[in-house]
Structure 1
């Protein structure tokens, strides 16, 4: 017996998302811009000249303030590589800008125990 989708016509209870991830990126697996998971992206306020698609529009709406690539991937429930392709399309048309994460200077010990304990504490509070 077929059940009604949970959210919209593209989600099915049994099958999950009916549109496969690489369909979203038109089968592309290589973004034209360099991103890592901590890269921050933000909308420029410029709109793309051409309509890119619903997934691009959804991602663009999430870029209202500085947001990481990892957070966007989680919010749109897509693999990081698909998210990077969508973001690179938006960079190419001038709709978003990106900024690589800053690197903290490393002292004698690159594993700061206080920092690691603070991260662990934060994760425990969220779980």
Structure 2
């Protein structure tokens, strides 16, 4: 769908965020891992279609950069939507593990490389 809806019309990124350009929080980096909460909270507003797409992608832990790449949306737009989902209790966000300066985390480096390949 890449920026469009099922009818093929272009959906401008700012419409996905209600015109907001800044997230409600600063928890997210490109390699922050996001996971959908299971089961989803019942007492929250019905999510928009784009939020549902994010929740499906986050069934397993996934990095913010990968979500943006899979949705074909700017990272800034995805972060605003992720902030909404985090505020609603629909996802969890985990900061990247600190990497030791003496021993590189090869698993983390491979995940970054894989994510960059997908872009």
Larger RCO of the pair (alpha carbons < 8 Å, separation 6+): 2
Q: Same fold by TM-score, threshold 0.5 exceeded?
A: yes
Where in structure 2 are there 5+ consecutive unaligned residues? Answer: none
Structure 1 segments, 4+ long, off by >6 Å, are: none
1:8 paired residue number: 6
Deviation per CA, 1:54-94, whole angstroms, max 9, x where unpaired?
11111111110100000000111110000001111110010
Q: Are 2:32 and 1:39 aligned?
A: yes
Work out the number of aligned pairs and report it: 105
Let me know the Cα RMSD of the aligned residues.
2.6
1:57 paired residue number: 52
Normalised TM-score (structure 1)? 0.72
CA distance in 2, matches of 1:7, 1:32: 26
Where in structure 1 are there 5+ consecutive unaligned residues? Answer: 1-5, 12-17
1:3 paired residue number: none
CA distance in 1, matches of 2:81, 2:5: 22
Out of 81, 86, 89, the residue aligned to residue 94 of structure 1 is 89
